[in-house]
Amino acid sequence: MSLSFIRRLISSRLLRPVFVVLVVAGLVQVVVSQWLISSQVERLVDTAGSALEASSEQVSASFGDTREDVRTRLETMRQKTTDELSAELTRQQTAQQERVAGNVRTAVMAEAQGLADVLAAVAAPLIWDRDVPRLTDLVELADARESVLFAVYYDQYGDRLTRYVDRTDDRVRTLMEQGEGRGAANRVLDAASRDPNVVIITADIAPQGSAIGQLKLGLSLEGINQDLAALEQEFSATITGSIDALHDTLEAETEQVNRRLQQQLASMDADTRSRIQNTVEALNTEASSLSANLSMLAIGSVVVLILLVALVLGGGLLPRVFRLSSAIWGIADGEADLTRRVSMKGKDELTEMAQGVNRFIGRIQELVSEVKESAESAAGQAQAQGDISRSAVAAVNRQEQDVAEVSGTMEAMSRSISEVAENIQDIAGSVSNVSSESEATAGISRDVRNRLDQVVRNVEQAVDAVNQLDHQSKEIGSVLSVIGAIAEQTNLLALNAAIEAARAGESGRGFAVVADEVRTLASRTQESTTEIQSIIERLQKGSQQAVSAIGEVSGQVAESSSEFRRADEHFDRINQLLSSLQDRAMAISSVAEEQGRHASEVSVSVSDIAGSSRETVEAIERSDEASGQIARTLTSLKDKASQFQV
């Protein structure tokens, strides 16, 4: 294509409007296609970004709910465990204190009753003899014990034989101030009968079955109450320490679990948002590249279309016009034969040439002229058709290259979508990591349960307090030893009295009866000592029961451990929720894979278009071969027409 031919195409008044329309149409097509592509790509990117962002928000919300649920359940479990342990320990403490207090009071009362019986038995001969000083000595001997406040002997008529009270004892002075009646002993007895901390024990003096007197022994319970109060304080301190240790341990472990879970969720949320941002940026980059490539393709298509039209019109019309114009000038310059022509001017080149040919040739040379002109015109058209075919082949080849570029772009987009699916799968893997952390939290719960075993060991320390009570019962045994010694001395006195009565003969027979009664009373004292020893053994058995009760408390702690097992079940449900989140992430990945398949289908369609373009090239090549055959036929016809001189 020469430069002069291009200048003729541009300067042609006939083709100028066609070129203007094609240029305007091409610009409109480029602008509209660019707008459509940009809007569709932006909508696609926005849709993908919104879907990923919504999924991320949903996952974040689910993680937040899960974290709050875990924190609430741990707090509830901690509070419930502490409350139940405190209530159970308090109940066990109260029950055990009541049992211990009852056993101690029973033992002390039995001891005091035995002491009263001994004093009553020893006092029988003294009452017969009205030996008040000896009776007073026995009262002072009994009052020397810490727990005994007073002791008073009465005769068979209810009259007091002894008047001694220990005025140096603050407790006795208090009773004297609170009591009513004449005499210190009466006031003390009156106040003691109303005082809940004082127990009055009465022992009848009846050596031969008939009462000859009575002994009233005042026993103070303040020492017992103080020992029980000290034991209660030790129990309370042990329970409080155990509950505080458990509370601190549970609170620390709960705080650690919440902090680790929050860190993991925050890290995973940040990673998810970063991956979504990278995915959206990759989509924007690929979309921009696709938009630019499609714009270049549209511009190239417009240019190809303009060139194709120019080649079709310029190669098919203008050469024919130029050849007709040359033929007319040849007729005008010839020797008055058919080779000479006269041009006629008109509004355009084709009209001028048609009018000149029609007026100059005439009806005489119509047939030859038409044959020659038809041959020349057909040859030119065949040549133009060949040029058009070759141009079309080149254009289709360029279009095939552009389609290949579009196919490559679609494949890149498909790869980007595949990367999105992989990122979603990474998110699912992060969810799996959170599930692993949840299982680690369950392991921490098991550690807390092990610490409850430490609480059991602390409860065992309470056994030492009960052992102290057992030690006190042994001290009571020492008192029994004193009573046993008194009984032995009484036996010796009875034996001596029996010997003296035997020496006295008939006059000492009554004294022998008294000695026999005293010996019987000593035997009863020894039996009472044995019974008291049995009571002490029962008291020690009660101490062992206290140890057993503390073991029950340990069992309650084991039940608390079962509560932690239920907490493990809650962690299992949390893992199920995380599994559901993972399923949702996999669903999003499936959607991304579906988009990738659609992009692959588009790529296949573009490949089909490329195949169709190749078929078009083959059809044009076959048309070019037919045009060549026509051109050769027309050349033969032209050679035959040139033989005529017209």
Parallel/antiparallel/unpaired status of strands 213-220 and 148-155: antiparallel
Handedness of CA 251, 257, 263, 265 (dihedral sign): negative
Side chain identity at 471, as an amino acid letter? Answer: H
User: What pLDDT, on the 0 to 100 scale, is given for residue 440?
Assistant: 67
Side chain identity at 346, as an amino acid letter? Answer: G
Q: Is the pLDDT of residue 434 over 60?
A: no
3-state helix, strand, coil in the chain (%, to 5): 85, 5, 10
User: What pLDDT, on the 0 to 100 scale, is given for residue 476?
Assistant: 66
Three-class secondary structure of residue 135 per DSSP: helix
Structure confidence by residue, pLDDT tens digits, 330-367: 555 554 455 555 454 556 555 565 566 556 556 545 55
Q: Is the pLDDT of residue 586 over 60?
A: yes
d(CA 298, CA 15): 23
Burial of 136 (0-12, 13-18, 19+ CB in 10 A): middle
pLDDT band per the 50, 70, 90 thresholds, residue 155: confident
pLDDT band per the 50, 70, 90 thresholds, residue 324: low
User: What pLDDT, on the 0 to 100 scale, is given for residue 364?
Assistant: 46
Q: In terms of pLDDT, which residue wins out, 546 or 220?
A: 220
What is the average per-residue pLDDT within 213-238? 80
User: What pLDDT, on the 0 to 100 scale, is given for residue 644?
Assistant: 47
Q: Which residues, 6 or more positions from 551, have their beta carbon under 8 angstroms from its beta carbon? A: none
User: What pLDDT, on the 0 to 100 scale, is given for residue 5?
Assistant: 64
d(CA 446, CA 464): 29
**Mean pLDDT, the chain, whole residue set:** 71
User: What pLDDT, on the 0 to 100 scale, is given for residue 331?
Assistant: 56
User: What pLDDT, on the 0 to 100 scale, is given for residue 505?
Assistant: 67
d(CA 333, CA 341): 8
Domain definitions of the chain by residue range: 372-643
Considering only CA atoms, give the Rg of the chain.
Answer: 64
Three-class secondary structure of residue 579 per DSSP: helix
Q: Which residues, 6 or more positions from 140, have their beta carbon under 8 angstroms from its beta carbon? A: 164
Q: Is the pLDDT of residue 516 over 70?
A: yes
Q: Which residue has the tokens 């083959």?
A: 618
User: What pLDDT, on the 0 to 100 scale, is given for residue 344?
Assistant: 47
d(CA 476, CA 227): 14
Q: In terms of pLDDT, which residue wins out, 230 or 235?
A: 230
User: What pLDDT, on the 0 to 100 scale, is given for residue 535?
Assistant: 74
What is the average per-residue pLDDT within 316-329? 60
User: What pLDDT, on the 0 to 100 scale, is given for residue 370?
Assistant: 57
Contacts of 447-454 spanning 24+ positions with Cβ under 8 A: 447/253, 448/249, 448/250, 448/253, 448/564, 449/561, 449/564, 449/565, 451/246, 451/249, 452/246, 452/557, 452/558, 452/560, 452/561, 452/564, 453/557, 453/561, 454/245
Q: Is the pLDDT of residue 185 over 70?
A: yes
Burial of 395 (0-12, 13-18, 19+ CB in 10 A): buried
Q: Is the pLDDT of residue 249 over 70?
A: yes
Q: Say which range, 98-102, 167-171, 173-177, 613-617, has the weakest mean pLDDT.
A: 613-617
* Cβ neighbours around 36 below 10 Å, total: 11
User: What pLDDT, on the 0 to 100 scale, is given for residue 194?
Assistant: 85
Q: In terms of pLDDT, which residue wins out, 203 or 603?
A: 203
pLDDT band per the 50, 70, 90 thresholds, residue 508: low
What is the average per-residue pLDDT within 298-316? 70
Q: Is the pLDDT of residue 184 over 60?
A: yes
What is the average per-residue pLDDT within 277-295? 74
Q: Which of 45-49, 167-171, 272-276, 426-430 has the highest mean pLDDT?
A: 167-171
Q: Is the pTM of this model over 0.95?
A: no
Secondary structure element (H or E) that encloses residue 199, with its range = strand 198-205
What is the average per-residue pLDDT within 594-599? 66
Q: Is the pLDDT of residue 180 over 60?
A: yes
DSSP state of 151: E
What is the average per-residue pLDDT within 418-431? 64
What is the average per-residue pLDDT within 169-185? 83
Contact 367, 577 (CB under 8 A): no
Parallel/antiparallel/unpaired status of strands 198-205 and 148-155: unpaired
Structure confidence by residue, pLDDT tens digits, 439-473: 666 666 666 567 656 665 666 666 566 666 666 66
User: What pLDDT, on the 0 to 100 scale, is given for residue 3?
Assistant: 67
User: What pLDDT, on the 0 to 100 scale, is given for residue 580?
Assistant: 73
User: What pLDDT, on the 0 to 100 scale, is given for residue 575?
Assistant: 67
Q: How many percent of the chain have pLDDT more than 90?
A: 0
Q: Is the pLDDT of residue 382 over 60?
A: no
Q: Say which range, 77-86, 101-110, 330-339, 572-581, has the weakest mean pLDDT.
A: 330-339
pLDDT band per the 50, 70, 90 thresholds, residue 371: low
User: What pLDDT, on the 0 to 100 scale, is given for residue 98?
Assistant: 77
pLDDT band per the 50, 70, 90 thresholds, residue 226: confident
What is the average per-residue pLDDT within 83-112? 76
Q: Which two tokens stand for residue 473?
A: 């019962």
Q: Which of 90-99, 121-130, 250-259, 368-377 has the highest mean pLDDT?
A: 121-130
Q: Is the pLDDT of residue 642 over 50?
A: yes
- What number of CA atoms fall less than 13 Å from residue 294's CA on the CB side? 22
User: For the chain, first and last CA: distance in Å?
Assistant: 34
Three-class secondary structure of residue 203 per DSSP: strand
- What number of CA atoms fall less than 13 Å from residue 506's CA on the CB side? 0
Q: Is the pLDDT of residue 368 over 70?
A: no
d(CA 486, CA 488): 5
What is the average per-residue pLDDT within 515-543? 71
Q: Is the pLDDT of residue 202 over 80?
A: yes
Q: Which two tokens stand for residue 241?
A: 């320490």
d(CA 13, CA 350): 11
pLDDT band per the 50, 70, 90 thresholds, residue 260: confident
d(CA 359, CA 366): 11
Q: Which class is domain 372-643? A: mainly alpha
pLDDT band per the 50, 70, 90 thresholds, residue 37: confident
Q: Is the pLDDT of residue 168 over 80?
A: yes
Side chain identity at 34, as an amino acid letter? Answer: Q
Q: Which of 170-179, 388-397, 511-520 has the highest mean pLDDT?
A: 170-179
d(CA 372, CA 335): 18
CA-CA-CA-CA dihedral for 629, 630, 632, 637, to nearest 10:
150
Q: Which two tokens stand for residue 235?
A: 């129990």
Q: Which of 130-139, 272-281, 484-493 has the highest mean pLDDT?
A: 130-139
Contact 462, 550 (CB under 8 A): yes
What is the average per-residue pLDDT within 594-621? 65
Q: Which residues, 6 or more positions from 590, have their beta carbon under 8 angstroms from its beta carbon? A: none
What is the average per-residue pLDDT within 377-388? 63
What is the average per-residue pLDDT within 575-599? 67
Q: Is the pLDDT of residue 389 over 70?
A: no
User: What pLDDT, on the 0 to 100 scale, is given for residue 598?
Assistant: 66
* Cβ neighbours around 183 below 10 Å, total: 13
**Distance set, CA 159 to CA 153, 187, 207 (Å):** 8, 15, 19
The two counts, helices (H) then strands (E), for the chain are: 11, 3
Closest to 581 in 3D by CA, of 55, 69, 72 = 55
d(CA 398, CA 301): 9
Secondary structure element (H or E) that encloses residue 218, with its range = strand 213-220
d(CA 614, CA 620): 10
Q: Which residues, 6 or more positions from 448, have their beta carbon under 8 angstroms from its beta carbon? A: 249, 250, 253, 564
Q: Is the pLDDT of residue 375 over 60?
A: no
d(CA 27, CA 302): 8
d(CA 373, CA 321): 12
Structure confidence by residue, pLDDT tens digits, 120-151: 888 888 888 888 888 888 888 888 887 788 88
Q: Which of 94-98, 183-187, 492-496, 610-614 has the highest mean pLDDT?
A: 183-187
